[in-house]
Amino acid sequence: MSNLLIGSVLAAAYIVIFWLLGAILPDRFHSQSIPVMCITGFLLYFSLFQVIALPMKIFKQPLSYLTMAWFGLLILLVFYVILKRRRPLIDSLKNLFPSIPKLLLVFWVMILALAVALLLGFNTNTISDYDACYYIGLPVSSVYSNTLELLSPYTGLLLEEPQHFYLLNTDTLNSAVIYQALNIHPLLERKYSFTIAMVLIFEMGLYLCGKHFFQKENSEKDLRMSGFQKTAVFCLLSNLVLLYAYSIAGVSHYFAYRTYEGKAITSYLYMTLIFCFCLALYQKEDTAKTSQDDLWPWAGLFLCGVSGVAFCNTALFVVPAMMGITLLPYIISKGLLHKHWKVLLRFILVLFPCLIWIALYKLL
């Protein structure tokens, strides 16, 4: 029972940290929205962690150095937000419940998200014993040896170098840092706390997709509630499709049975977030918003490119491919045909981190 309490607190702490980190960016990047801030904070969290952890991993520094550096940075960032960025946090809480009818809909969407998160958090059948040994065993062996993945969890032997295939992946180091600093075992952190946190971020992404799909209904006074109702139904149906349209080689399998794994996060979470960011860009064109309003999706796409490879090498290919395919009509119509070169520059910029990771993977 105590483990469940600790795991639940850690899952809530993940969401709060993401929310706080999302407030670091200027207001134009999050519009005082809790889902937007949490998603941005999640991407910023693992972007910063990737930038700090990867060099330490390459140069074979002790795990304790990474733990001190990461928690030191988090403490500084949290203090900065509390001291300098309290206003966006307060405004985001006010914007969460602007009206009683919407309050009821938001409440039911939150209940749905929490129910799905708990369902998957309590799921003990992952159908992936080998991968589970990797995601649980590697952080444990790193803490035991105080190294950055230089002790094989399968043989117990010290390695001269980290495994090259997993060199760019650092999400397991996050579990090791949590274990070393807070003494929360990766079995609890990965399979329960981290699973719940990732599902909640995914549900926020679905909610934002629904809001963008039905933006016009939300903007018209007489149909204001119908847009929110459609968003709620959209979230419900999307979850039902994932939970009942099962395919052992598809996204539904990773979402339901391997929620915390890198390939799963890349497939169900990053693809949804990238689609959400691109949808925001297209919706911005339809509603003729100012140019500042499209900075959040561009920033989100950039952070996806930076942080995606932290979870899985699959992100080396599918993240830039998803960005390119989804944005291609926008780039052609907005950038090339109308000669808005700023759009092309932003497109190149969001793909630049992906090119860096591919080059590093080939060179290292």
pLDDT value, residue 342: 86
| Whether the predicted pLDDT of 197 surpasses 50 | yes
143-147: list long-range contacts, CB under 8 Å, 24+ apart.
Answer: 143/63, 143/176, 143/179, 143/180, 145/63, 146/62, 146/63, 146/64, 147/60, 147/62, 147/63
Say which residues have a Cβ less than 8 Å from residue 54's Cβ, sequence separation at least 6: 168, 170
Burial class (CB in 10 A: 0-12, 13-18, 19+), 61: middle
Q: What are phi and psi of 182, to 5 degrees?
A: -110, -5
Tell me the C-alpha distance between 305 and 355, whole Å: 9
From residue 10, give the alpha-carbon distance in Å to each of 194, 254, 311. 8, 22, 20
- Residue pair 112/103 in contact (Cβ under 8 Å)? The answer is no
Q: Kindly tell me if the per-residue pLDDT of 134 is higher than 80.
A: yes
Q: Which amino acid belongs to residue 120?
A: L
Judged by DSSP in three states, 158 sits in strand
Average pLDDT over residues 214-223: 56
Report pLDDT digits (tens) over 238-289.
Answer: 898 888 877 777 888 889 888 999 999 999 999 999 999 999 988 876 554 5
Q: Is the pLDDT of residue 292 over 90?
A: no
Closest to 62 in 3D by CA, of 155, 144, 122 = 144
**pLDDT score for 338:** 73
- For the chain, percent of residues with pLDDT exceeding 90: 56
Mean of all residue pLDDT scores within the chain: 87
Q: Are 139 and 173 in contact (CB under 8 A)?
A: yes
For 248, the token pair is 């052992």
> Among 18-32, 67-81, 175-189, 296-310, which is the least confidently predicted range?
18-32
The pLDDT of residue 180 is: 97
Q: What is the predicted pLDDT for the residue at 231? A: 84
Lowest mean pLDDT among 69-83, 217-231, 276-290, 349-363: 217-231
Give me Rg for the CA atoms of the chain: 20
**Whole-angstrom Cα distance, residue 357 to residue 167?**
11
pLDDT given at position 287: 53
Among 195-204, 252-261, 351-360, name the one with the lowest average pLDDT: 252-261
Cα distance between residue 320 and residue 335, in whole Å: 18
User: How many of the other CB atoms lie within 10 Å of CB of 237?
Assistant: 12
- Tell me what pLDDT residue 249 has: 74
CA distance 202 to 158: 37
Q: Write down the residue that tokens 């940075």 correspond to.
A: 73
Q: Which pLDDT score, from 0 to 100, does residue 204 have?
A: 94
Q: How would residue 291 be classed by pLDDT, with cut points 50, 70 and 90? A: very low
pLDDT tens-digit map of 298-355: 999 999 999 999 999 999 999 999 999 999 988 888 877 777 888 899 999 999 999 9
Give CA 277 to chain center in angstroms.
13
The domain locations on the chain are 3-363
pLDDT at 55 over 60: yes
pLDDT at 218 over 70: no
DSSP structural state of residue 85: -
Lowest mean pLDDT among 13-27, 208-222, 306-320: 208-222
Lowest mean pLDDT among 118-132, 171-185, 211-225, 325-339: 211-225
Q: Rounded to two decimals, what is the model's pTM?
A: 0.93
